[in-house]
């Protein structure tokens, strides 16, 4: 444990307990590389600010991107505040390190959808442009079902895994176990 760890309140040491994250408490963890999904750009943020009426209850600024919603009170906080909170609660030392680790929480989920899409495209020898909206919708739904089957400790392990090929390999096994695609492409419309 380094000197700064001893100064942190115990409830702020959660990330410090994950061995894989220890080198990334100050510097950002590498991002998960996605092919089909792109996170919102600065331009989109600015456009959202112009359109929105939502106010963050924590910083009282307009919300460009919702960071989290309190399901009981309905209060909304912006993603900038959500990242600051994530830094404090998870024991990160910089905003950039907290932001990168929090980003991975969402991106491991998107990665499962992408592995699933690739599995489907390969099965029927399709390219991305040939995937119908109905098929995409079906795959997103199935991806959510699969996500719900992954135990929480495993999800944390995936979020903390630096080797993306290992995450993909786990997803491929999950898909092989639960998805039985017919030999001919399903007719959804």
Q: Which stretch binds Zn ion (CB under 5 A): 5-13, 55-63, 109-117, 147-155?
A: 55-63
Q: Which is nearer to Zn ion, 77 or 97 (CB)?
A: 77
**How many Cβ atoms are within 10 Å of 20's Cβ, its own excluded?**
14
Q: Residue 66: in which H helix or E strand, if any?
A: strand 66-69
The answer to whether 58 contacts Zn ion (rule: CB under 5 A) is: yes
CB of residue 76 vs Zn ion: minimum separation in angstroms?
Answer: 9
Which part of the chain contacts Zn ion (CB under 5 A), choosing from 38-46, 49-57, 113-121, 168-176?
49-57
The H-assigned helical ranges of the chain are 3-7, 42-51, 79-90, 95-123, 133-149, 152-160, 164-178
Site size with Zn ion, rule: CB under 5 A:
5
Provide the minimum distance between the beta carbon of 135 and Zn ion in the complex, in angstroms, as a whole number.
Answer: 38
Among 29, 56, 108, 175, binds Zn ion (CB under 5 A): 56
Contact at 8 Å (CB) between 24 and 96?
Answer: no
Minimum separation from the CB atom of position 31 to Zn ion (A): 23
Q: Measured from the CB atom, is 81 or 115 closer to Zn ion?
A: 81
d(CA 126, CA 111): 19
64 with 48: CB under 8 angstroms? yes
List the one residue out of 65, 75, 76, 144 whose CA is nearest residue 99. Answer: 65
Closest to Zn ion by CB, 87 vs 158, is 87
DSSP state of 143: H
For the segment 4-23, give every residue that binds Zn ion (CB under 5 A).
none
DSSP classification of residue 163: -
Least Å distance between CB 159 and Zn ion?
Answer: 23
Residues in contact with Zn ion by the rule CB under 5 A: 56, 58-59, 78, 81
């Amino acid at each position: 444990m380094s000197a700064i760890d001893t100064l942190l309140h115990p409830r702020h040491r959660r990330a410090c307990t994950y061995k894989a994250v220890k080198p990334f408490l100050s510097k950002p963890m590498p991002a998960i590389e996605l092919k089909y999904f792109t996170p919102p750009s600065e331009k989109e943020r600015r456009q959202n600010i112009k359109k929105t009426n939502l106010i963050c209850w924590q910083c009282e600024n307009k919300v460009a991107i919702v960071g989290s919603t309190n399901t009981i009170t309905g209060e909304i906080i912006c993603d900038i505040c959500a990242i600051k909170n994530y830094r404090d609660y998870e024991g990160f030392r910089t905003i950039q390190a907290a932001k990168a680790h929090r980003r991975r929480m969402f991106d491991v989920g998107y990665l499962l959808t992408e592995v699933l899409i690739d599995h489907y495209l390969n099965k029927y020898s399709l390219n991305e442009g040939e995937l119908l909206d109905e098929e995409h919708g079906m795959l997103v739904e199935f991806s959510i079902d699969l996500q719900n089957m992954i135990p929480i400790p495993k999800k944390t392990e995936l979020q903390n895994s630096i080797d993306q090929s290992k995450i993909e390999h786990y997803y491929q096994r999950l898909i092989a176990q639960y998805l039985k695609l017919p030999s001919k492409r399903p007719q959804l419309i």
